[in-house]
Amino acid sequence: MLKVKLIKSKIGCNPAQRKTLVALGLRKIRQEKTFEDTPVVRGMIKRVNHLVEVTES
């Protein structure tokens, strides 16, 4: 399982990165979501890795 936490604002991002954050369910700073470790989720995290913090649990 992966815990993904939004740590930076999405204000300066391009629209594709914003859509990725919405798809991950991250709307507010310091909001956390838990996902299964799949290649799809890893790819989404890779697109916005400068905005999120990932921990394995």
Evaluate if residue 31 carries a pLDDT over 90: yes
- Predicted TM-score of the model (pTM): 0.90
What residues does 54 pair with on adjacent strands?
4
% of the chain at pLDDT higher than 90: 98
CA-nearest of 47, 45, 44, 50 to 8 is 50
What are the beta bridge partners of residue 17?
none
The whole-chain average pLDDT of the chain stands at 96
Q: Is the per-residue pLDDT at 49 higher than 90?
A: yes
Looking at the chain, the whole-number percentage of residues with pLDDT higher than 70 is: 100
What is the pLDDT at residue 57? 82
Q: Sketch out the chain's domains with CATH numbers.
A: 2-56 (3.30.1390.20)
pLDDT at 20 over 90: yes
